[in-house]
């Protein structure tokens, strides 16, 4: 079962990805026609001032899914993190890329699409919207279901993508900047959360 849902506001995208993943695994039900249902989860995972360039909200979503009975593991491309840091410093010499450290995923293996989507797993692909040295993290929910489908909380749509298009997004050079993918202009961080039933 695949669902799609549109975020109520920019800060609740992580909550939407969490809500939809949990619903697809049968851990909760919601009506996709009613807006704002992710705000309950958002209230649980958001603390203090929202910072879209940091990983605190996603880290708490990870814990929320674990506590709900799902197995969650990180995937991370270390070379991509270094390239993102270097790109930021072209525009602002003191800029820091915090996402990898915030999530505690430094030693995680990179995404392997064939293995990581096996067994009905979902991947929360962590994307960036990027304006020079300013970042905003945005999750996309990827599933394999007789094809590859990406649910984007911003558009509220579930879009079929080819393996080639997905691979190009994941491997696109950081220096080229954001590219069109799944309804938005995104730069892949090389970070993903693999979510599956225990």
Which structure tokens are listed for 192?
């993903």
pLDDT score recorded for residue 151? 98
| Domains in the chain, CATH or no CATH each | 10-197 (3.90.70.10)
pLDDT score recorded for residue 134? 86
Beta bridge partners of 172: none
pLDDT < 70 regions, the chain: none
User: pTM of the entire structure?
Assistant: 0.95
pLDDT score recorded for residue 130? 85
Residue 46 CB-half CA count within 13 A: 18
pLDDT score recorded for residue 56? 93
Cα–Cα distance between 134 and 62 in angstroms, integer? 24
* First-to-final CA distance of the chain: 18
| 60 CB neighbour count, 10 Å cutoff | 18
How far does Cα 139 stand from its chain's mean position?
A: 3
Query: Taking a C-beta distance cutoff of 8 angstroms, is the pair 108, 74 a contact?
Result: yes
pLDDT score recorded for residue 133? 80
How far does Cα 85 stand from its chain's mean position?
A: 19
pLDDT score recorded for residue 38? 94
């Amino acid at each position: 079962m695949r669902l799609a849902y549109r975020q109520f506001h920019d800060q609740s995208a992580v909550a939407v990805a969490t809500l939809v993943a949990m619903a697809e695994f049968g851990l909760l039900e919601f009506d996709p026609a009613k807006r704002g249902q992710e705000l309950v989860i958002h209230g649980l995972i958001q603390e203090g001032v929202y910072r879209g360039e940091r990983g605190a909200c996603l880290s708490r979503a990870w814990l929320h899914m674990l506590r709900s009975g799902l197995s969650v593991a990180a995937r991370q491309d270390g070379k991509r993190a270094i390239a993102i840091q270097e790109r930021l410093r072209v525009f602002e010499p003191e800029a820091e890329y915090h996402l990898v450290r915030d999530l505690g995923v430094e030693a995680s293996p990179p995404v392997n699409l064939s293995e990581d989507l096996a067994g009905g797993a979902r991947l929360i692909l962590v994307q960036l919207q990027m304006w020079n040295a300013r970042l905003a993290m945005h999750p996309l929910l990827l599933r394999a279901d007789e094809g590859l489908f990406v649910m984007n909380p911003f558009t509220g749509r579930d879009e079929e993508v080819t393996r080639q298009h997905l691979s190009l997004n994941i491997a696109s050079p950081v220096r080229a900047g954001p590219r069109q993918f799944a309804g938005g202009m995104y730069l892949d961080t090389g970070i993903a959360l693999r979510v599956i039933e225990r």
